[in-house]
Amino acid sequence: MAFPSVSREDFEAATVLAQQARARPPVEREDHALFDRLEHVLSTSGSSPQTAKPRAPLPRAPTGSASRKRKSESSLEDDIAAYKQSLDDIIVEDMPMDLSCDQVRTRINKVLDSNIMNKGEFCKAIGCGNAPVNNFLKKHGRMEGANSGVYTNAWEWFKQREVAGLKLPDVKKRQKTEAAAAAAESSSNITPGLAAKKLSATPDISNIHLKCEETDSVPVFDTCDEIRRKINAHLKTPGLTQAQFCRDLFSQLNTPKVKSIQSSTLTSFRGKKGPKAGCTSTVFYAAYVYFEKLRIAQGKPKNKHREDMERIWACQGGFDLENDGRESYIVMSGERPCMNQYGQVGPF
């Protein structure tokens, strides 16, 4: 009996199919005999299998790891844009309000503190004015402000993002991760000599002397928030580590009261918020001296903030380094002390 010749591809496919059928339980093997005969015919064929032209491989569905990899490769800017986009096509008005006023306030503050939106942008996004939002944020209590339109509108805004599966991007963490990845990539692409050359681009400040530096009493004319901004920008210098920066800060002290400046101390100072928050820290004073010397070495003029600080604090011998804003104040009846951006306290 003559058997038709078959291609190698069909031969292998039929063999695999027969083996899979034989491996099934008896209940699922009604066609077991048919596959046996098919395999027998193919294996005893008088003609050798023909070589078929290879086909292009079929596209595979992405595996979990590949899918996660693509998701992780989205940039911080893309995630921020996705979170800020209008989602008014998602209807949540009929859903139960599952957040208290305090919880909504917490979420609003997280968005504003993350700097992915300023207050004006957020007000526009939820359709409320600046004044109502400020009034709502000033309240305290689980359901204080429940009658405010800010509560309803803000809840709907956050609920739409929850339904869409969008989480608030952790800006600080992502920036740290992306900076580390960029540093690792750059270090793998450049030689240690080039990295050292980039770091050495920072001007030498060892020969610059400030008034009262020998007693660690240089008058300070920057707020804590301004110094934090400068630190964050400086730490992006290629090749500069926190440990090295801490050593640079400690070297600015002539009569140090601490043995060294630790990375944990630097991290603690950077985590504070407020014009005077952290003013008693050694990091604040040392960083001011360091950046003032750096400004002089680079030949940069004083900015407006610096000039305003000198005008405000010069008569007091510089910025207050002893009171960090947690002290008590005596005011007239009906007055409430508050602090402005320059660290001044008063009924402004």
pLDDT at 344: 85
The count of residues in the chain is: 348
CA nearest 264: which of 279, 284, 243? 243
Phi then psi for 116, rounded to 5 degrees? -80, -20
8 Å CB contact between 7 and 42: no
Q: Tokens for 262?
A: 């630790």
Q: What does 205-222 look like in DSSP terms, one character per residue?
A: -TT---TTGGGT-PPP-S
pLDDT at 262: 92
The model carries a pTM of 0.45
345 DSSP β-pair partners = 339
pLDDT at 20: 62
Q: Would you call 93 helix, strand, or coil by DSSP?
A: coil
* CA atoms of 144 and 255, how far apart (whole Å): 51
* DSSP-based helix, strand, coil % in the chain, nearest 5: 50, 0, 45
Gyration radius of the chain's alpha carbons: 34
Q: State the residue for tokens 């000599």.
A: 193
pLDDT at 346: 74
Q: Which residue positions in the chain have pLDDT lower than 70?
A: 1-73, 178-180, 182-201, 326-329, 347-348
Chain mean position to CA 307: 32
8 Å CB contact between 176 and 182: no
Chain mean position to CA 66: 23
* CA atoms of 232 and 110, how far apart (whole Å): 20
* CA atoms of 179 and 326, how far apart (whole Å): 35
For residue 187, the one-letter residue type is S
pLDDT at 77: 82
pLDDT at 306: 93
pLDDT at 305: 92
pLDDT at 165: 93
Degrees, nearest 5: CA angle 199-204-205: 130
Q: What does 185-249 look like in DSSP terms, one character per residue?
A: HHHHHS-HHHHHHHHTTSPP-TT---TTGGGT-PPP-S-HHHHHHHHHHHTTSTT--HHHHHHHH
H or E, element range at 58:
none
User: What sign for the dihedral angle of Cα 172, 173, 178, 183?
Assistant: positive
